[in-house]
Structure 1
Amino acid sequence: MPEKALHPAPTHEALPLEDLRWYCPLNTIPAETTESVEPIEGIIGQDRALKALKLGVELYSPGYNVFVCGLSGTGKATTIKTILEKIQPKKLLTRDYCYVNNFVDGDRPMLLVFERGVGARFKKDMVVAMNMVKERMPGIFEEEEYLKKRQSYVDEYNAKETELFSAFEKEIEPDGFVLGRIQEGQSLHPEILVKLADKAVLVSDLPNAVMQNLLTKEDAERLTDKYREHKTTLQEVYRRGMRLSREYQKMIQDHEREVGAFYVNAIFSDLLAEYTDEKVQTYLQQVIGSVLDNIEQFKVRDDEETELATVYEVNLIIDNSNSSCCPVVIETAPTFRNIFGTIERSQDSNGFWYTDFSMIKSGALLRADGGFLVINAADALTEPGVWKNLQRVLMYRKLEIQSMEMFAQQTSSALKPEAIDVNVKVILIGNNEIYGILSAYERDFKKIFKVKADFDHEMHNTHLAVQQYTSLIRKLISDEDLNHFDKHAIAAVVEYGARLVDSKKKVTTQFSEIADIVREANYWCQQNSNKYVTIEHVDKAIDETYNRHSLYEEKLQEMIDEEVILIDVDGGRIGQINGLAVYGGDRFSFGKPTRITAAVSAGKAGIINIEREARMSGSTHDKGMLILSGYFREQFAQKHPLSLTASVSFEQSYSGIDGDSASSTEIYALLSSLSGIPINQGIAVTGSVNQKGDIQPIGGVNEKVEGFFDVCVQRGLTGKQGVIIPIQNVDDLMLRSRVVRAVSEGRFNVWAISSVTEGIELLTGIAAGERDAKGRYPKETVFGKVEARLEELFVSAKDEKDEKKTG
């Protein structure tokens, strides 16, 4: 009996032209050219982020720093620079910061804080005061009154010293001794000498005198004994003389200090009166005390800079004299030194390192005090020491300036400057991945970054959005002196913005990409010496942009053309289908077809994922294969279990595969292999699937359609070729004009489906089939053929099992 003909599939209409691409309505563009359009001021399409930034900027409470997320090119840096001007936050008082020598503990420099502009004045006043001290102090000690008083002390001391030693000399004279002075090194010391004839000799010379018969041995011994007695007395007299010397030295010093204090206090009196802050007063008193303690250094006229003068310098590390608004510091190189400052070092002539308070340098964090510091999160996390120290500063709101000595082969410095109370808001620019990691693994992160400003990469495609795009183009024209755009060129730019986000309902907010196309379109306009930028110039700019990044795509297309990579675009084959893959990970990614095959045989291994067995598939692809198995159990294993061995493979794939966008394609290949019905090779398929057979949306739909279209163009369009996509992706279609043109001419097709049933009917031209009252599929349908084949495999497996039992 001849086999009945298979039931033909119902007709599935291809998508109409209006579903393939959105064209910007010209009536939404506010002018014929950009000449009569006002440039836009402000930020486009980032209402959520702007609200978050406004909160973070205006709420002056601990922890309300801002973490800014979003794709590159969405205007984050531009926004942060301009948002403060727009919001006009409450200004904190900016201050001047100085480090000065701590005369009590030189290793702990003292911090002086002044109102804006006062720090520079204080430094200048200190220079003037110290110059006056240096210039006038020598003259003070050259005045006649001072010299007379000093001489009187000297004369009085000399008289008392003479009296003291004269009395001792009279005491020793009867015993044959006189008082003399001998030199030891650089100094003279009193010594008891023996009178011998007409000269005086040392006691140590007496043995020589005995040998010369100038003295008897007995006299020499007597004199030596007497010398020892008087020597003890001399030592006491000498000590009294030293005490007397110290007393008069102190009297002279006290007098010098009294004279110096009168003038030094007079010099510093104005500073003490003007700078009333307690710490400044303490410092000035320390300076006065140090000058008076080191008055000898100032008594000598010296036009050269002395080392001592350094201790009286004022190290003005932050000067806000010229600052009239809230500081906004954008640190593009957030190294430890650039952010927190450092303590510099220098080497002396012997090669030893030294440092002092004058080598303390501020960083961006302190320059932004009272305002905002903007840094890149990735840079802050990768620079040694920056992130941990930034956390510490924001938690405790204190900055301790130190050098990064743990990363240098130098001895650690004992210098520990006084900590600075800082009031700065940090705006960290990053992405959601960094934000998620920090939130999960940094315990204090959410305590110090309480505000997240999320910049969206897209916005709704509305009439307002089109007008904003127009004004954005106008602003670029004004800022960069470009040629004006006509309305068709503006429409092309807006359409390009929709293509960048693969959506008819959205346009991109990555305006750096839009700006690049505007500049390049202007370039081609000027190359042609045209007055206005037209749609042809915009299209040329877009085409050239893709062309610069299309080398890999062209090489792959060559391999397909030369049949190195095997792809069929006509005819039919059982168990073989064209899947679609996207190559590249940026906006210059492209799609190309890939052959997927399925093979079925008797057995119980189930559905084998060859890529998984070869360890070339990712977890998402593996999940898609398991869902595929679930679909077959749902559809064909309600009465008996699946008994088959089937394998699915991405042919000529030699690198890793991931994603589930080909899971429906794999189902079609298996259905074809089980049913024995060939698949139309002129149709490529993309789409994820669930266990119920519902088709789910995928990414890269435009690239995939265009990729298969390009292959078909090279082989020759037949009018029967096309691509099957999920119905949910229709709103994502923004196909290039050449594809839309081919569809309008009936040479190419795009179908949108919602179920596996629709897909298999399009691919085979045979009805999929529906279960009858008994729960079986009609035999003349695809599913009926699959069901029959699975029953054969089940019976075969059962018979084999029975044979093993009886054997």
Structure 2
Amino acid sequence: MHVAPENLYWNCDPAKFTFSTTEELDPLDGTIGQDRALTAIDFGLGIQDQGFNIFVLGEAGTGRYSTIRKMLETKAAQEKVPDDWCYLHDFEDDNHPKCICLPCGKGKELHRDVEDMVRRLAEAIPKFFESKEFEQQKARLADQYQEKNRELFQGLEEEANRDGFTVQGGDGTLIIVPLNQDGKPLSKDDYEKLSADERKYIDGKAAILKDRLNEVLQQARELEKVLRETTRQMAKDALMFAIGHLFEELEEKYRDYDKVLKHFKDCKKDILYRIDEFRPTPPQFAQFATQAGTTPKEESPLERYRVNLLVDNSCCQGAPVIFETNPTYFNLFGRIEHIIQMGNAITSFRMIKAGSLHRANGGYLVIDCRELFANPYTYEALKRCIRNHEIKIEDMTEQFRMMAFVTLKPEPVPLNCKIILIGPARFYYLLFAMDPDFRKFFKVKADFDLTMDNTEENIDKYARYVATRCRKENLLHFDRTGVARFVEYAARLVEDKNRLTSRFLILSDLIREAVFYARQSGKNYADASHVNQAIEAKIYRSNRVEERNLEFIKEGTVLIDTDGAEVGQINGLTVIDMGDYSFGKPARLTVRTYLGKGNVINLEREAKLSGPIHDKGVLILSGFFGSRYAQDKPLSLSASIAFEQSYGGIEGDSASSTELYALLSSLSEVPISQGIAVTGSVNQNGRIQPIGGVNEKIEGFFNLCRSRGLDGRQGAVIPIQNVKNLMLHEDVVTAVRKGEFHVWAVSTIDEGIEILTGIPAGEKKEDGTWPEGTINYLVDKKLQAYSELAHKQGGGNDNQGKS
């Protein structure tokens, strides 16, 4: 049947709009045409059970990111701000820093207070050791020690004098020396002159006094030890008295936080334990240490008392919403940094840095699935975090190093975060099929559709979308004709009068381009002419290959006829997809039939230029011929089918009806009009089935016919199911309205062959024969002749077909 001009295009009537320009409209609140996805996202955000993380799937440009951002920001603003997280030094195990959580804002406050305390400690402790009071107390203890020490040695000296001995010191030692009658030390010569009994007496006394000297020395050492301990304890007591108020102030402020109080207690114990490290180093020793090769700038012992503020949520107005655009391992899970000193890698708990999971803890983390899989180890590590409910900071590169560095094993941070992955549909289904963990951890699927229903409600939302985009980007607004043309283009993008596209990335560009041309022409608003100009300009930027193909046909390099009639030759319609642009290209298809064994030879398949779907379409033709013509005789036919001047791959079954028409023409020897092009797939019963790219196919053939001159007999035959997909260019509609071009819609092969040949197809009679002079009669007659000839030559198939 002829398709009426009004069915070739769906018009959006500007008169239906109640506004004059989009400036009058309220901004759009929400997403258009994604009710299923919005319901899934709302469910996923609301349910708090384990594993109900969300995977948002759909094509780019359908509003996935903008929708999830808006929904998350709205929901997060109503939720509680999560706690701050800090790392503290573990005084029991230096390599395992401890994490603590504090209410929002308290972490930053604690960090600031501890920084102030450390600064004051750094000033107070050196002043304490250099103070006169400390020196006086230390001197007083030293004097007491000297007095007791002097008493010890004075008693020893008196005891030795009574026995005729004296105590002398030399080279750091004390010795017992006998005295002569003059009270002077006895020389060695005088000693030798003494009698044996006298020497024996002196030796005995000397032995006793030496034992006594050893006792006194031991007591002196004990006194020195007591002095050191007493001095150290005095220093501890005095130091704690001097700095204790710094801790008392904070202990009172943070009395409700046990872990903070324990940290302050451990700090005080550590200061007293390391008290000698805080003593000022004498200049001569510092100079000696530098010359010996040690680093001149060592970390202060006070550094261990600081607080590493890992996550600060003090500025949040609700739950955090983090979009991680570069989900590397370290960006997601945090890192432990190092500094190089004297060739060594040094780290500390203060060099632990947070990742996106830490910042999103208590809120929401959004990750692009493609970016996630582009970074090694991140997906598996993310699953571990979800499985164990904790964020563990590890040095991922440690296993690949030849030498082990000094590193830390921080205490894991508990994880409470809703994770949203965004990616193409193929990623979702691949993960669901291949990864058992995926279906446990991402139980919510939010599927963004490419299309929506063409309803008055959605059209109104389209208009508000235009208004919102114009306000947001400070663009010229559209009048009602511009909005109507904009909506029509949305229907063209999906090739369906009853649906509109959801790819707002493309539509946003159209708005900007139309406004560009409106401003260029000095208009205050963008109208339909500017939208058309933007569409045509975009086509012109992209259709170089299309125009070159058309030139090849016009100049005769590629052979395509648009007038006359030929047997076994027909114009098929194909679509070339360039990625950003697709266009229709006519293709000549020829068929040759001859006596054979029922084989249909697809030359594209033999040359390995066709895909499996195209091959299947050709094989269906054998089923059609067997069902219709071989119920009373064997099918003794062979045929070859070829797309002429086709040098690339061919895929799809949209040419199967075209091939069948050419076969019928070849067998009936009835020519096919070359001014008509055909598209559509066919089943074994001869019914025409819908195809894709119908608008591009018709427009491609129309452009060729127009370039050669329209004669009123040219047109295109399409499946009847594709009438609802027609959104043809205005030039095609105008030509059809004038009768210069035609579009026919058919539901069966018989309808199509009548249009192509002008001869009735014919309906089968009750006796199994066909009306004389019809296409089916001529085909059946030729096949009967083939069968008889094959039987005479002994090469036919004598088996009768069965219905």
TM-score, normalised by the number of residues in structure 1: 0.88
CA distance in 1: counterparts of 2:743 and 2:40, whole angstroms: 42
CA distance in 1: counterparts of 2:309 and 2:152, whole angstroms: 57
Contact 2:129 2:280 in 1 (8 A): no
| Offset from partner CA, 1:612-670 (integer Å, 9 cap, x none) | 22222222222222222222221122223322222222222222221111111111122
**Residue of structure 2 equivalent to 1:56:** 44
**Residue of structure 2 equivalent to 1:269:** 248
CA distance in 2: counterparts of 1:274 and 1:695, whole angstroms: 83
**Residue of structure 2 equivalent to 1:397:** 389
Kindly report which structure 2 residues correspond to 1:24-35, keeping only aligned pairs within 5 A, or say none. Answer: 24-35=12-23
| Offset from partner CA, 1:746-770 (integer Å, 9 cap, x none) | 1111111111111122112222222
Shift of 1:544: 0.4
Kindly report which structure 2 residues correspond to 1:584-599, keeping only aligned pairs within 5 A, or say none. Answer: 584=577, 586=579, 588-599=581-592
Report which stretch shifted further, 140-149 or 377-386.
140-149
Residues 192 and 628 of structure 1, relative CA distance in 2, 3 Å threshold:
farther
Report the secondary structure of 2:55's partner residue.
strand
Residues 382 and 243 of structure 1, relative CA distance in 2, 3 Å threshold:
farther
Shift of 1:73: 1.4
Kindly report which structure 2 residues correspond to 1:190-229, keeping only aligned pairs within 5 A, or say none. Answer: 190=173
Kindly report which structure 2 residues correspond to 1:576-655, keeping only aligned pairs within 5 A, or say none. Answer: 576-584=569-577, 586=579, 588-604=581-597, 606-655=599-648
**Residue of structure 2 equivalent to 1:387:** 379
Contact 1:344 1:403 in 2 (8 A): no
Name the aligned partner's letter for residue 671 of structure 1: L
Name the aligned partner's letter for residue 45 of structure 1: G
RMSD: 3.5
Determine if the alignment matches structure 1 residue 434 to structure 2 residue 422.
no
Name the aligned partner's letter for residue 108 of structure 2: A
Name the aligned partner's letter for residue 345 of structure 2: W
Shift of 1:122: 0.5
Report the secondary structure of 2:641's partner residue.
strand
Contact 1:500 1:587 in 2 (8 A): no
Contact 1:135 1:301 in 2 (8 A): no
CA distance in 1: counterparts of 2:158 and 2:628, whole angstroms: 137
**Residue of structure 2 equivalent to 1:79:** 67
Shift of 1:41: 2.3
Structure 1 residue corresponding to 2:260, chosen from 265, 275, 280: 280
Structure 2 residue corresponding to 1:772, chosen from 759, 765, 768: 765
Name the aligned partner's letter for residue 267 of structure 2: V
Contact 1:169 1:179 in 2 (8 A): no
CA distance in 2: counterparts of 1:707 and 1:227, whole angstroms: 129
Unaligned stretches of 5+ residues in structure 1: 1-12, 183-188, 198-205
CA distance in 2: counterparts of 1:344 and 1:803, whole angstroms: 84
Name the aligned partner's letter for residue 266 of structure 1: H
Determine if the alignment matches structure 1 residue 132 to structure 2 residue 120.
yes
Determine if the alignment matches structure 1 residue 507 to structure 2 residue 486.
no
Unaligned stretches of 5+ residues in structure 2: 181-186, 283-296, 799-803
Determine if the alignment matches structure 1 residue 550 to structure 2 residue 543.
yes
Equivalenced residue count is: 771
Contact 1:595 1:650 in 2 (8 A): yes
**Residue of structure 1 equivalent to 2:365:** 373
| Offset from partner CA, 1:444-497 (integer Å, 9 cap, x none) | 112221211111221111122221121111122222222232221211111011
Contact 2:73 2:321 in 1 (8 A): no
**Residue of structure 2 equivalent to 1:4:** none
Kindly report which structure 2 residues correspond to 1:303-318, keeping only aligned pairs within 5 A, or say none. Answer: 307-318=300-311
| Offset from partner CA, 1:573-610 (integer Å, 9 cap, x none) | 22222111111154521111112222222222611222
Residues 82 and 802 of structure 1, relative CA distance in 2, 3 Å threshold:
closer
| Offset from partner CA, 1:64-105 (integer Å, 9 cap, x none) | 221111221121111112113445675144111111211111
Shift of 1:779: 4.3
Shift of 1:377: 0.9
Report which stretch shifted further, 81-90 or 163-172.
163-172
Shift of 1:250: 2.0
Contact 2:345 2:406 in 1 (8 A): no
Contact 2:81 2:320 in 1 (8 A): no
Name the aligned partner's letter for residue 373 of structure 2: L
CA distance in 2: counterparts of 1:615 and 1:407, whole angstroms: 49
Report the secondary structure of 2:794's partner residue.
helix
Report which stretch shifted further, 140-149 or 625-634.
140-149
Structure 1 residue corresponding to 2:231, chosen from 247, 252, 271: 252
Residues 638 and 141 of structure 1, relative CA distance in 2, 3 Å threshold:
same
CA distance in 2: counterparts of 1:651 and 1:175, whole angstroms: 137
CA distance in 1: counterparts of 2:552 and 2:175, whole angstroms: 116
Contact 1:192 1:227 in 2 (8 A): no
Residues 157 and 749 of structure 1, relative CA distance in 2, 3 Å threshold:
same
**Residue of structure 2 equivalent to 1:675:** 668
**Residue of structure 2 equivalent to 1:186:** none
Contact 1:29 1:466 in 2 (8 A): no
Residues 241 and 663 of structure 1, relative CA distance in 2, 3 Å threshold:
farther
Q: Percent identity?
A: 41
Contact 2:81 2:313 in 1 (8 A): no
Residues 717 and 138 of structure 1, relative CA distance in 2, 3 Å threshold:
same
TM-score, normalised by the number of residues in structure 2: 0.88
Contact 1:336 1:385 in 2 (8 A): yes
**Residue of structure 2 equivalent to 1:417:** 410
Contact 1:94 1:369 in 2 (8 A): yes
**Residue of structure 1 equivalent to 2:25:** 37
Structure 1 residue corresponding to 2:515, chosen from 515, 522, 533: 522
CA distance in 2: counterparts of 1:803 and 1:60, whole angstroms: 73
Residues 553 and 636 of structure 1, relative CA distance in 2, 3 Å threshold:
same
CA distance in 1: counterparts of 2:2 and 2:116, whole angstroms: 89
Shift of 1:527: 1.0
Residues 31 and 164 of structure 1, relative CA distance in 2, 3 Å threshold:
same
CA distance in 1: counterparts of 2:712 and 2:655, whole angstroms: 24
Report the secondary structure of 1:453's partner residue.
strand
Contact 2:76 2:363 in 1 (8 A): no
Name the aligned partner's letter for residue 766 of structure 2: A
Name the aligned partner's letter for residue 347 of structure 1: I
| Offset from partner CA, 1:543-595 (integer Å, 9 cap, x none) | 00111111221222222222222211111222222111111154521111112
Report the secondary structure of 1:648's partner residue.
strand
Residues 75 and 176 of structure 1, relative CA distance in 2, 3 Å threshold:
same
